[in-house]
């Protein structure tokens, strides 16, 4: 019983630390200023490099919705690897 309580207590802070460690500078910038279109593009580029293409598309959509002109070369590369038109 005591071990269960300790285990449960330790799970919370560890998860929080883990989640905080996963935040990129781009995510932090977006949280601080959700209208910072370039941060969405930069994070999309990071997702692209990690092979997380769907997340990259989500951020491309976010950047575009804020008026950011995404480079055609990047869009072409993302379309090619993701098999998606966007």
What pTM value is reported for the model?
0.74
pLDDT in tens, 23-75: 889 999 999 999 999 999 999 999 999 999 999 999 999 999 999 999 999 99
| Residue whose token pair is 């976010």 | 62
Domains (range + CATH), the chain = 24-86 (1.25.40.10)
Q: What is the pLDDT of residue 30?
A: 97
Rounded CA-CA distance 7/3 in Å is 6
* Encoded tokens for 10: 């330790």
């Amino acid at each position: 019983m005591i071990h269960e309580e300790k285990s449960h207590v330790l799970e919370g802070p560890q998860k929080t630390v883990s989640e905080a460690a996963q935040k990129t500078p781009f995510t932090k910038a977006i949280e601080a200023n959700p209208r910072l279109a370039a941060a969405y593009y930069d994070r999309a580029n990071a997702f692209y490099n990690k092979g997380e293409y769907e997340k990259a598309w989500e951020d491309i959509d976010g950047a575009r919705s804020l008026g950011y002109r995404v480079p055609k070369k990047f869009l072409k590369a993302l379309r090619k690897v993701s098999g998606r038109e966007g």
